[in-house]
Structure 1
Amino acid sequence: MNNEVALELLAKVMDWQLDKAVDEMRWWKLISAVKYDGYRDFLAGARFLESLVGWLLQFSEEDREAAYKFARHRLVYVSALERERLIQAMYPRTVYPRLLKAVANKAQIPPWKVHKSGELMKQVRIARRRTLFLGLSDGARLDSFRHANVGGRISNEQVVMGAQLDKRKWADLKKDLTRDLQHLGADIEPTFDCIYLVDDFSASGTSFLRNEGSDEGADWKGKLPRFLESLGFNEDPIQADNWRLIVHHLMITDKACKHLQDSIQEFMACADECLPRFSDYEVTYGHKFSERLPVQEGCPLDEEVIPLTDDYYDNAIETPATRKGGVDHLGMGYAACGLPLVLDHNTPNNSLAMLWAESAGKNGSHQMRPLFRRRQRHE
């Protein structure tokens, strides 16, 4: 659909006067061209404005204004370029400062003094090569991280898409590490002393680690236990005795950050002793969203939209996977996170369901139409 036609339809749907229509159309033309039209899961030839018109039509006339205000003033969209910048900033802002600090602590000097010593800078290069980067999803975009750090900083053999590897891949990583440490003149055991688990976004933190147990005992699930199980398959360990774990997200909410810090500590206190154990861990991020990001009571813009998450809802979108977040009703998103967030490559199910959910509306239930169609990972 032509953008001009879509804008005319939008003005009719919202019943705007001329001055109002001109101002709003100017905004939508700009934001659509700069950001929203780049959403990866729009159908071929489709654009945001026609999606907006169709989305608004599912609301009654008395509720349409509240839905529009939510899309106009509350929606947060992270573009591909913005996400790429977070990937590019990961090494200089997160990885390199920690390498300097680790070497400086051993030498008992301030980190800035490391640059003055050739021997200490060699130790930095060795520590850097003994760091392993594992991607937890496609959204982590470690291919871009590797590309941004060419020229000797990061080796291709220390960046892997996936955290559950077979024995052959673990053995190949150790073989490459042995060769590179010899090239650096490092007479040390060829093991990784720092492992990064990298993902694009976390809203609740429960997909990474959660306790599904009862009062009778803990039952830990998530990406961390699965990674440790895979790491433990190796008869010849690739990790050092006192290795560090760093959990890095390009973007994270305040809620998820607190959950990860607390749950990892609790998990390690009672984890199966057969699993590899790390000596220390840290939760890092490229950007942490404000605690004011979620839709919540008390915010004037949110008071009108919260009822819509229940009135325009179809429980057919609920699945066993979504119930792991601790709530059945997904109106406020998985784990009731209440996010107004859209990422360029997918819409998190932690966002309000009316942003991403699509349903047939059978048996008299509401037929949900998404503003940004979500690519489901779990059924």
Structure 2
Amino acid sequence: MDIISDLMEWDDGEATREFDWLKVMVDYKFDRYQGYGPGVHFYISLIHWLGQFQDVEARKAAYRYLRHHLVFIGQSELHQLIKLGMPEMEKDARRLIAKKQGISYFETWTNAGAKRALRLMSLRTLYVGLSDGARVDIFRRDNDGLLTNEQVVASSEISNDKWGSLGEKLKDRLKQSGFPEAEQKFERVCLIDDFTGSGSTLIRPNGAGWDGKVFNFCRQNNGRAEIASQCHVQIHHYLASSKAKSTIEEALTAYQATIPKFSFNTSYSWVLSPSPHVVMGAGSDPDLIRWIDSHYDPSIETTHNCKDGKPIALGYKQCGLPIVLEHNTPNNTIALMWATSKNGSTPPHKMRPLFPRIDRHIDNGQSV
């Protein structure tokens, strides 16, 4: 504690106030970060992180960002976002049925035909996790009674045998629910993921074609007998940036024109505010922007996090996000939160992370 107080040059009153806040956040959130190694706790990481800045003004800017801007999504918050997933997806199902039947949204609760169509759609819906972060185990338990185990798949890479089993279970489900004459195919697929910061991982142009998780799912399953000839794909994220939301919706509109079998819609449990107080960029606190830019080391750039050749001081795709998830820190978050300078580099400033990021990609130590 004394080391942190000395680094920050706090007087007794400031130290009392700040350590009260830190104790709550460390006990409730920060010490639960899963990116720390054995024996490492938040306070140790904070000392090293603050200590990398040579002058107290830079350390004060760093602490101000931690204190007033960082958004740490712990396990309890993520579970709440997961609980919000099904109600959001059900809203879009009702909008879809209302549009098909030419009625108002509110009439889907009273119109007999709409109620039957919604029940049938719920039976013919498949829920697919796009990553481990989708936590489909929690999603399934939270919605016990609304769906069956046979309607939830943990991975978008679905084998032929698994598709066959899903189709057979769908037939049984329809017969047992009083719809023996209904088409025994999935009319709706809900693709679920935890977080999107830029939207490019989900769907993006790639030269004359397309790439991303949605493209790969549709390409792999375009001819599947178990999927209806006109299938609606609902894409739900528990958490998204405003930038990702607009990027995804624009890209899906263009992509849909290339693949008539599928139609698309998006929903979110929570969309982060685009306010410059929240997302660093134009209009943000100029002192914080200077702090971010002046403590940047280009050696952190790789072929995976710097595909456009632009500095990533504000994170991948310059998203400027303040997000830390309990299991990892997105690379869309400002780099000073997660980045480590490469061994052997001699930049003006060597970066040390507060919340070390666990990277899925290996770049063989090469920067771009």
With the length of structure 1 as denominator, give the TM-score of the two structures: 0.88
> 1:312 is matched with which residue: 292, 295, 313?
295
Instruction: Tell me which amino acid in the other structure corresponds to 1:226.
Output: N
Matching residue of 1:296: 281
> 1:210 is matched with which residue: 188, 201, 204?
204
> 1:244 is matched with which residue: 217, 223, 232?
232
Cα pair 2:236 2:267 within 8 Å, conserved: yes
Instruction: Tell me which amino acid in the other structure corresponds to 1:266.
Output: A
User: 2:217 matched to 1:230?
Assistant: no
Shift of 1:36: 1.4
Shift of 1:95: 2.6
Change (3 A) 1:141 1:267: same
Cα pair 1:39 1:345 within 8 Å, conserved: yes
User: Secondary structure, in 3 states, of the residue corresponding to 1:56?
Assistant: helix
CA distance in 2, matches of 1:100, 1:266: 24
Gaps of 5+ in 1: 1-6
CA distance in 2, matches of 1:276, 1:168: 26
Change (3 A) 1:220 1:113: closer
Change (3 A) 1:74 1:124: same
CA distance in 1, matches of 2:175, 2:231: 20
Cα pair 1:165 1:230 within 8 Å, conserved: no
Matches within 5 A, 1:272-291: 277-278=261-262, 280-291=263-274
Matches within 5 A, 1:2-13: 7-13=1-7
CA distance in 1, matches of 2:188, 2:312: 38
Shift of 1:246: 1.2
> 2:157 is matched with which residue: 138, 151, 164?
164
Instruction: Tell me which amino acid in the other structure corresponds to 2:244.
Output: A
Shift of 1:120: 5.6
Matches within 5 A, 1:129-148: 129-148=123-142
User: 2:253 matched to 1:260?
Assistant: no
Shift of 1:8: 2.0
How far does the alpha carbon of each residue in 1:237-271 deviate from its partner, in whole angstroms, 9 at most, with x for none?
Answer: 222122111111111111111111111111233x3
Answer with 257-266 or 96-105: which moved more: 96-105
CA distance in 1, matches of 2:341, 2:89: 43
User: Secondary structure, in 3 states, of the residue corresponding to 2:268?
Assistant: strand
Matching residue of 2:60: 65
Change (3 A) 1:87 1:363: closer
Shift of 1:39: 1.3
> 1:370 is matched with which residue: 347, 350, 353?
353
Change (3 A) 1:261 1:297: closer
Change (3 A) 1:105 1:309: closer
User: 2:314 matched to 1:332?
Assistant: yes
Cα pair 1:195 1:244 within 8 Å, conserved: yes
CA distance in 2, matches of 1:327, 1:158: 42
Change (3 A) 1:328 1:183: same
Shift of 1:341: 1.3
Superposition RMSD in Å: 2.1
User: Secondary structure, in 3 states, of the residue corresponding to 1:304?
Assistant: helix
User: Secondary structure, in 3 states, of the residue corresponding to 1:84?
Assistant: helix
Matching residue of 2:334: 352
Matching residue of 2:48: 54
Instruction: Tell me which amino acid in the other structure corresponds to 2:255.
Output: F
User: 2:74 matched to 1:91?
Assistant: no
CA distance in 2, matches of 1:111, 1:170: 33
Change (3 A) 1:327 1:250: farther
How far does the alpha carbon of each residue in 1:42-86 deviate from its partner, in whole angstroms, 9 at most, with x for none?
Answer: 223432222111101011114222112111211111111111011
Cα pair 2:256 2:264 within 8 Å, conserved: no
Instruction: Tell me which amino acid in the other structure corresponds to 1:312.
Output: H
User: Secondary structure, in 3 states, of the residue corresponding to 1:364?
Assistant: coil
Answer with 352-361 or 172-181: which moved more: 352-361
Shift of 1:12: 1.3
Instruction: Tell me which amino acid in the other structure corresponds to 2:75.
Output: A
Aligned length: 357
Matching residue of 2:366: none
Shift of 1:105: 5.1
Shift of 1:99: 3.6
Cα pair 1:333 1:352 within 8 Å, conserved: yes
Cα pair 1:74 1:340 within 8 Å, conserved: yes
Cα pair 2:89 2:236 within 8 Å, conserved: no
CA distance in 2, matches of 1:310, 1:116: 57
Same amino acid, percent of matched pairs: 34
> 1:39 is matched with which residue: 25, 28, 33?
33
CA distance in 2, matches of 1:297, 1:95: 33
User: Secondary structure, in 3 states, of the residue corresponding to 1:323?
Assistant: coil
CA distance in 1, matches of 2:141, 2:9: 49
